[in-house]
Structure 1
Amino acid sequence: MKKQFKIMVMFLSFVLLLAACGKSNDMSSNSSKNDKVLKMATSADFKPFESRDKEGNIVGFDIDLANLIADELGYKLEIQDMNFDGLIGALQSKRVDMVMAGMSTTEKRKKNVDFSKEYHRSGEMFLSLPDKKIESLESLEGKTVGVQLGTIQEEGANELSKKYGFTVKPVDNAGVLIQELLSNRVDAVYMDSVVAVGYRDEQGLFGFDDPTTSSPGMAIAFPKGSDLVDDVNKALDKLEKEGKIKELKEKWKLDQVAIE
């Protein structure tokens, strides 16, 4: 009897052990799935593409689109905020998997990173205080124009300054750029049109479009040779076909000044 009891105890222990192992494996599997993280860097000073709300959360068109892409690919999105001029370096050192920051697909950048298909295109605008009467490129002669460091607007302003005789002043952050303008430390700023319109309306500024340049479109940037590019492009195609990208553009009012 005792022998049968011992056998039964051993059998039950074995069953419980198997159940525990199965549960452990299930937990490990779920944990692995939940730990599938997509690390994205941005520069949250580029409203409406990315900025911080009153609670400090990073929000914007790029953020909404990145979340849709992560959902399509089965990832949990993890966002890191940094200065725009440090984004390419973060990709090159593979500290992040991708960058969404209203980044344009310039030939110079293509030498250092890979890009997805373009998801948006807009032009450039000069902003100034209403009483400055800066209404054309010619009226910028002898003035100081602020730009955000590392952007295509910095490159474009440097080229335009050779012809129109103004000084270029780069700063780290688009918000600081506007403060430079409001404090009369620069005479004008040169920005992406969508971003500029937001500041123009909020601050009562004057703006005119740059008629001379045609910017490349915005896209998602990846480290060279990243396996994510094809998958992200497929996700973008799907989201575009379903009309979800259009919905986001309407939500964030991107198409009001977009060049399509």
Structure 2
Amino acid sequence: MFNKTKAIVFASLASMTFLLAACGAGEPDEGSASADETKVLKMGTSADFPPFESRNAEGKEVGFDIDLANHIADELGYTLEINDMKFDGLIGALQTGRVDMVLSGMSATDERKQNVDFSTEYNRSGEFFVTEKDSDLKSIEDLEGKTVGVQLGTIQEDGAKRLKETEGIDFEIKSLDNSILLIQELKTGRIDTAYMDKSVADGHVKEQGLGGFDDPTTSSPGMAVAFPKDSDLVDDVNKVLAEMEKDGTLQKLKDKWLSDQE
């Protein structure tokens, strides 16, 4: 009787030990990160800026910046994670560490350089005033008394304010969240013209039969990848961009996404 009882106790202990070991095997070791976690590159963008970034019919982010970001991630050995947010929140996302870099048609202005670091420029477009096809707006002088729509947080918003001051033209500025809303406001007559990046503007003009004219006063900086201050990624990304320029990969992306706008 004693031996039988002892055997049952030993068997129970052995069973409990096995179960504890099995449970422990499936739990991660605290303090150690997986290889996948350390190789994710978090990118911020505002997917409402075609042809640089937008969403296709399936809801997937596509565009020049998306292809560029994927190429950079592949070259550096990362898995790209895309975080879509409003354009005017992108700098803050970098500063708070929510994203590692931003590709969103962002111009490397002196003001932004006070808060983030930039890569070398990868594209330069200029600015354009989009109008209805039959609009009487043909030059910046015609903006007197009109309403000019701009995207919130962009260099075009700052440029419109500067244009009023330097050229002495009195017009109202209406800031909206994205370029798609700007075109909607234009077509419904709530604004007289939409002031935006030329590459983006040209796409809307051709797709929707609109008109417009170039801004002859602009001297805006080119687009670049943005990073948190003192990010180790800046030099690595600059090397990738330099290689893309050298081997023609960057031009291929421009031919794919921007050729119709040039």
> TM-score of the superposition, structure 1-length normalised?
0.85
Name which of 45, 48, 58 aligns with 1:55: 58
Query: 1:102, CA displacement in angstroms?
Result: 0.4
Q: Distance in 2 between matches of 1:181 and 1:255?
A: 22
| 2:146 counterpart residue number | 143
Q: Distance in 1 between matches of 2:106 and 2:88?
A: 11
Residue 93, structure 1, aligned to residue 57, structure 2: no
| 1:217 counterpart residue number | 222
| 1:200 counterpart residue number | 205
Name which of 64, 68, 76 aligns with 2:79: 76
| 1:102 counterpart residue number | 105
Flag the 1:255–1:241 CA change in 2: closer, same or farther, 3 A: farther
Superimposed CA distance per residue, residues 138-161 of structure 1 (whole angstroms, 9 cap, x where no aligned partner): 111000000000000000001112
- Aligned to 1:215, what secondary structure does the other structure show? coil
Name which of 189, 195, 202 aligns with 1:184: 189
| 1:9 counterpart residue number | none
| 2:44 counterpart residue number | 41
One-letter code aligned to 2:126 = G
Kept after mapping to 2: 8 A contact 1:48/1:195: yes
Kept after mapping to 2: 8 A contact 1:122/1:193: yes
Q: How many residues align?
A: 232
Structure 1: gaps of 5 or more residues: 1-20
Query: 1:33, CA displacement in angstroms?
Result: 4.6
Q: Distance in 1 between matches of 2:42 and 2:197?
A: 25
Q: Distance in 2 between matches of 1:255 and 1:217?
A: 19
Kept after mapping to 1: 8 A contact 2:203/2:261: no
| 1:124 counterpart residue number | 127
Structure 2: gaps of 5 or more residues: 1-24
One-letter code aligned to 2:171 = F
Query: 1:241, CA displacement in angstroms?
Result: 1.3
Kept after mapping to 2: 8 A contact 1:35/1:76: no
Superimposed CA distance per residue, residues 38-74 of structure 1 (whole angstroms, 9 cap, x where no aligned partner): 0000000110000001111000000001000000000
> TM-score of the superposition, structure 2-length normalised?
0.85
Query: 1:133, CA displacement in angstroms?
Result: 1.2
Q: Distance in 2 between matches of 1:33 and 1:93?
A: 22
Kept after mapping to 2: 8 A contact 1:104/1:152: yes
Kept after mapping to 1: 8 A contact 2:202/2:261: no
One-letter code aligned to 1:136 = S
Name which of 221, 240, 245 aligns with 1:240: 245
Select the structure of larger CA radius of gyration: 2
| 1:4 counterpart residue number | none
Name which of 220, 223, 232 aligns with 1:227: 232
RMSD across aligned C-alpha pairs, in angstroms? 1.9
Superimposed CA distance per residue, residues 25-48 of structure 1 (whole angstroms, 9 cap, x where no aligned partner): xxx99x515751000000001100
| 1:115 counterpart residue number | 118
Q: Distance in 1 between matches of 2:36 and 2:86?
A: 31
Residue 157, structure 1, aligned to residue 160, structure 2: yes
Residue 65, structure 1, aligned to residue 65, structure 2: no
Deviates more, 1:247-256 or 1:124-133: 247-256
